[in-house]
Amino acid sequence: MNRIKSMKELEAAQSRVRRDLAIKKNSMARRFDDAKEFYTPANLVSNAIGNITPMFDVRGLLLGIIRDIRNKL
């Protein structure tokens, strides 16, 4: 850790901190936007179905539900 001994060094350090902060802010904003795009209701349902599929015969369940709905109509 360097000690700041002059105004010029202080101003340079402040400039570096501001630049680094702006870079981090932009990076976090991009990550947040990526997360918002990924975690949509459709993606969450799709992922849930994908995780459930190996445990259950989802197609069979859905076809049964659709058949029941058609019979009630």
pLDDT (tens digit per residue) in 3-18: 989 999 999 999 999 9
- Do 26 and 49 lie in a common domain? no
pLDDT at residue 45 above 70? Answer: yes
- Do 32 and 55 lie in a common domain? no
For the chain, the straight-line distance linking the first and the last C-alpha, in angstroms and rounded, comes to 76
- Do 34 and 57 lie in a common domain? no
- Do 72 and 44 lie in a common domain? yes
pLDDT in tens, 54-68: 666 767 778 888 889
Query: Residue 17: which domain range?
Result: 1-38
- The pTM assigned to this predicted structure is 0.52
- Do 44 and 72 lie in a common domain? yes
- Do 34 and 1 lie in a common domain? yes
- Do 31 and 49 lie in a common domain? no
